[in-house]
Amino acid sequence: GPLEEVSLPLYFGWFLLSSIQDKIKCTSMDFLKTLDTLEAFKKHLIDFSGKAEEVDLEQYFQPTGILHCTTKFCNYGKAEGAKEYAEKQAVKDFYGSIFDLSLSALFVTPRTFGARVSLTEEQLQLWPADADAEKQAESVPAAASLPLGSRAHVTLGCAENVEPVQTGVDLLEILTLQQEGQQGEQVEEMELGTLTYYGTGKWLLNLREPISAPACFSSFYG
């Protein structure tokens, strides 16, 4: 009946606990501030503004609300595979549990700013298997051969008029380039890690020390 349909959320995911949200916001803003000032970044400014003019990355990316890593976008049951996902045993068993997410990289494109999440085997039980593979194949065809869970990320900000769903697509594009053997251009050893440029405005900072982020597996109704 209609009640069952509305009982499915907008999405399931891991919601970062508030203590770590603040830390990540600070770290990520510091990163944007530094990136802004690098000569290598300035050289490729045209990717961001269409002009060789300076951009203030902290202004460029709008925050997108509570920091989380989406596992399954259900769209209140309208998304394909939503019901099946909600009925998975692992989803029921782990609902409300706290996990330690490992944030292993930060990435910036002209559209989105995000953190890559490296999932453990246990966490992968909460990742949708088939639907995700299809979704990946649709948005980034070459990403179909990436390991399950490659899309896992936390959206940290979006450029004007860009939807957060783009962050996962941008991450898959970078990982696809890596898988195809594109080394990228290692531009800088930063305090946080190694910064690599993958062309057309794609920047990835591999964190020397992954950020461990406690997060609650739950859902968002909006």
Q: Please give the residue ranges that form the binding site for ligand A2P (CB under 6 A).
A: 10-11, 70, 73, 155, 163-165, 167-168
H or E element in which residue 28 lies? helix 18-37
Only one residue has tokens 């990436």, namely 146
- Of 57, 153, 167, 168, the active-site residue reads 153
Q: Are 108 and 34 a contacting pair, CB within 8 Å?
A: no
- Least gap, CB of 34 to ligand A2P (angstroms): 24
Question: Cβ closer to ligand A2P: 160 or 191?
Answer: 160
- Of 44, 68, 72, 202, the active-site residue reads 68
- Least gap, CB of 52 to ligand A2P (angstroms): 30
Question: Cβ closer to ligand A2P: 164 or 201?
Answer: 164
3-state DSSP percent of the chain in helix, strand and coil, to 5: 40, 30, 30
Residue number of the CB atom closest to ligand A2P = 70
Q: Are 67 and 21 a contacting pair, CB within 8 Å?
A: yes
Question: Cβ closer to ligand A2P: 75 or 145?
Answer: 75
- Least gap, CB of 47 to ligand A2P (angstroms): 21
Query: Does residue 44 carry a catalytic annotation?
Result: no
- Least gap, CB of 168 to ligand A2P (angstroms): 5
Question: Cβ closer to ligand A2P: 11 or 99?
Answer: 11
Per-residue CA distances from 46 to 113, 204, 209, 210 (Å): 17, 18, 31, 30
Question: Cβ closer to ligand A2P: 32 or 169?
Answer: 169
- Classified as helix, coil or strand, 30 is helix
Q: Residue 104 has which token pair?
A: 């292993």
- Least gap, CB of 79 to ligand A2P (angstroms): 7
Give the integer Cα–Cα distance in Å for 183 and 197: 9
Only one residue has tokens 């406690």, namely 214
- Buried b / exposed e along 27-55 (16+ C-beta atoms within 10 A): bbbebbebbbeeeebeebbebbeeeeeeb
Active site residues: 68, 153
